[in-house]
Amino acid sequence: MADDEIILSELDDEELVAQMFDDLYDGLKEEIEEGVNILLERGWTPYDILTKALVGGMTVVGADFRDGILFVPEVLLAANAMKGGMHILKPLLAETGAPRVGKMVIGTVKGDIHDIGKNLVSMMMEGAGFEVVDIGINNAVEKYLEALETEKPDILGMSALLTTTMPYMKVVIDTMKEKGIRDDFIVLVGGAPLNEEFGRAIGADAYCRDAAVAVETAKTLVARKHNQPAAH
Amino acid sequence: MSPASTTNPPPTDERLTVDGLAPEGRGRVLLIACGALAREILAMKEANGWDHLDLQCLPAILHNAPQRIVPAVETAVEAARGRYAEIFVVYADCGTGGLLQAACDRLGVGMVEGPHCYSFFEGNAVFAARGEVTAFYLTDFLVRQFDAFVWRPLGLDRHPELRDMYFGNYETLVYQAQTDDPLLTEKAKACAERLGLAFERRFTGYGDLGGVLGRL
């Protein structure tokens, strides 16, 4: 018998949230699900659990990834654990009318099937209160335009892992310009081989180096957009 | 004894992965190459009697960290400058997003055309025409070093449950064979099984690389 086994239900709220931070960091999905259920039983709102326990924990993971303390496998495990918690909270969030910050359409560009980064961004954006419409991988410009037309988001997010596919982001942005709709949307781009210079060169509003930066950038740019005076 | 017997013994894959290969210090042209290409270049050198080529390899593991390729190449070129009539970089773009080409232009040295070795081994034109999106490629070297380059860096040795998060969108493992080696083919098949992918073997030989080096 392990003497040091932690019984989550015996922890007070503060200790439990701290333990959930640790469990997220260690990628322990079942423990996260248990923690979420305990907090729900204690009367926490789904929104508070999401922001204070899950997003708070993932923010630590994101910071340590950025600092080179954690690597991709550990981040994926943490994300998987958070996903377990989100799965419980998502229907409840819809019922309880959690605040909605904005809407994003996100997808990986044509020729590229890598979606780990995109999925992390989607999850963290949802955690931050954005409605996310994920159009998946290998998206041609027509697919992006269709999603923009149908979903009318605030933000378009494009992702690429390959240096051979990242130039396609410019194709999408140039087509948006041709159609006169470029300025109707905030365009965020990301992916391992990108950088700020590339983001500027292709005409995106911002390059986001990781999911946490994507969330902060999205919040800032959406707030700025909403504060803009109507066109005159 | 043949003159070839005076050269250093062939480097091990493990050494090529971590340390690369030091040049012998003789020859008119220095090749600064990815360690993953060492055996192929040495084989071509021997088969064609290219004694004017000297070979230096950077650690092959830079394949997994393209942001480190450009500084490593720059350092190697600067260190070798003046000791050879010509320096040639045996890397393609290799995930540097054009930065390696820019560095080579700045340094006044040539490099291999194409996005990566998978492309120039098949031939850049053929590879581009295929337009494959869901293929995961391995070369002879990468089959031999699958654990060091794929399995362990992705954490699959510790967390095999992550496999489908990485490879769920891939369909086929394409083994681009530089040599006919039934044992390597079996190993490549096993790699495909471990990744949950269909398997295809494509004999490429050295593709565009032979022509490129033959012109030096």
The pLDDT, as a whole number, for residue B77 is 98
Looking at the structure, tell me whether residues A110 and A211 fall in a common domain: yes
Q: Where are the alpha helices (DSSP H) in chain A?
A: 13-25, 29-41, 46-48, 56-66, 72-96, 116-127, 141-151, 168-178, 196-202, 211-227
Would you give the distance in Å from CA B115 to the centre of its chain? 12
A72/B155 CB distance under 8 A = yes
Residues A86 and A152 in one domain: no
Note whether A77 and A117 are same-domain residues.
no
For chain B, say whether A166 makes contact (Cβ under 8 Å).
yes
Contacts of B155 in chain A (CB under 8 A): 71-74, 76
Per-residue pLDDT of chain A (232 residues; tens, 9 = 90+): 455 788 999 999 999 999 999 999 999 999 999 999 999 999 999 999 999 999 999 999 989 998 989 988 999 999 999 999 999 999 998 887 777 889 999 999 999 999 999 999 999 999 888 999 999 999 999 999 999 999 999 999 999 999 999 999 999 999 999 999 999 999 999 998 999 999 999 999 999 999 989 999 999 999 998 877 654 4
Distance of CA A200 to the CA centre of its chain: 22
End-to-end CA distance of chain B: 28
Whether the CB of A163 is below 8 Å from some CB of chain B: the reply is: yes
Tell me the C-alpha distance between A187 and A199, whole Å. Answer: 10
Mutation target among B132, B136, B159, B172 for the A interface, most CBs of A within 10 A: B159
Pairs of residues, one from chain A and one from chain B, whose beta carbons lie less than 8 Å apart: 44
- Determine, for residues B169 and A113 on separate chains, whether the beta-carbon distance falls below 8 Å: yes
Residue A116 included in any domain? yes
pLDDT tens, position by position, B155-205: 999 999 999 999 999 999 999 999 999 999 999 999 999 999 999 999 999
Which among B95, B154, B170 has CB closest to A73?
B154
Four-point Cα dihedral B62, A116, A104, A214, nearest 10:
-50
Give φ, ψ of A138 to 5 degrees: 55, 50
Suggest the residue from A70, A164, A166 to mutate for an interface test with chain B (most B CBs closer than 10 A). A164
In a shared domain, residues A74 and A146:
no
Quote the CA–CA distance of B52 and B177 in Å, as a whole number: 27
Decide: B48 and B20 in contact? Cβ < 8 Å.
no
Q: What does the pLDDT read at residue A41?
A: 97
The residues, ordered by sequence, that sit 6+ positions from A93 with a Cβ below 8 Å of its Cβ are: A46, A47, A50
3-state helix vs strand vs coil in chain B, percent to 5:
50, 15, 35
User: In this complex, which of B115, B134, B156 lies closest to A164 when CB atoms are compared?
Assistant: B115
Q: Please answer whether residues B134 and A113 qualify as being in contact, where contact means their C-beta atoms are separated by less than 8 angstroms.
A: yes
In a domain, A143, yes or no: yes
- Indicate if A144 and A217 belong to the same structural domain: yes
Are A124 and A75 members of one domain? no
pLDDT of residue A93: 86
Q: Contact A44/A17 with Cβ under 8 angstroms? A: no
Domain ranges of chain B: 3-112, 122-203
Separation CA B128–CA A80 (nearest Å): 35
Q: Count up the domains in chain A and report the number.
A: 2
Partner-chain contact A114 B169, CB within 8 Å = yes
Q: How far is CA A111 from CA A107, A115, A201, in A?
A: 12, 12, 21
Measured CA to CA, the distance from residue B105 to residue B63 in angstroms comes to 21
Final residue in a domain of this structure, among A96, A127, A157: A96
Closest CA to B177 of B131, B140, B125, B215: B140
Backbone torsions φ then ψ of B213, nearest 5 degrees: -70, -30
Residue of A nearest to B130 (CA): A111
Chain B residues in contact with A169 (beta carbon < 8 A): none
pLDDT of A15: 96
pLDDT at B189: 98
Q: Is the pLDDT confidence value at B5 over 60?
A: no
Residue A77 shares a structural domain with residue A114: no
CATH code for position A80: 1.10.1240.10
Nearest to B159 among A77, A116, A164 (CB): A77
CATH number of the domain that residue A144 is part of: 3.40.50.280
- CB contact (8 A) between residue B169 and residue A137: yes
A113 and chain B in contact, CB less than 8 A: yes
Both A39 and A145 in one domain: the answer is no
Asked if residue B90 lies in contact with residue B33, where contact means CB atoms within 8 angstroms, the answer is yes
Determine whether the interchain pair B98/A163 forms a contact, defined as Cβ–Cβ distance below 8 Å. Answer: yes
Q: Are A110 and A85 within one domain?
A: no
A70 in B contact zone (CB under 8 Å): no
C-alpha to C-alpha distance for A107 and A148, rounded to whole angstroms: 12
Strands B53-58 vs B29-34: parallel, antiparallel or unpaired:
parallel
CA-wise closest residue to B33 among B95, B96, B77: B77
Q: Each residue of B55-97: pLDDT tens digit?
A: 999 999 999 999 999 999 999 999 999 999 999 999 999 999 8
* pTM summary value: 0.89
Best mutation target among B169, B172, B195, B197 (most A Cβ atoms within 10 Å) is B169
Residues paired with A121 in a beta bridge: none
**Residue A80 within a domain:** yes
pLDDT at A230: 55
What distance in Å separates residue B39's CA from the closest CA in chain A? 27
pLDDT of residue A99: 78
Asked whether residue A46 falls in the same domain as residue A81, the answer is yes
pLDDT tens figures, B117-161 = 999 999 999 999 999 999 999 999 999 999 999 999 999 999 999
What is this model's ipTM? 0.86
Closest-CA residue to A81 (of A33, A9, A120): A33
Complete DSSP assignment for B157-196: TT-GGGHHHHHTT--EEEEEESS--HHHHHHHHHHHHHHT
pLDDT at A228: 74
Q: In what order do the strands lie in the sheet with B53-58?
A: B53-58, B29-34, B86-90, B110-111
CB atoms within 10 A of CB A69: 10
Residue A28 has which token pair? Answer: 């322990």
The CATH topology of domain B3-112 is Rossmann fold (3.40.50)
Hey, are the CB atoms on B162 and A163 less than 8 Å from each other? no
- Average predicted confidence (pLDDT) for chain B: 94
pLDDT tens for each residue of B6-52: 456 778 999 999 999 999 999 999 999 999 999 999 999 999 999 99
Residue B152, min C-alpha distance to chain A (Å) = 10
**Of the residues A80, A96, A112, the one at which a domain ends:** A96
- Are A129 and A64 in the same domain? no
E-strand ranges in chain B read 29-34, 53-58, 86-90, 110-111, 135-139, 172-177, 198-203
Domain with A223, as residue range(s), is 102-227
Question: In chain A, positions 132-161, which contact chain B (CB-CB < 8 Å)?
Answer: 137-138
Residues A192 and A152 in one domain: yes
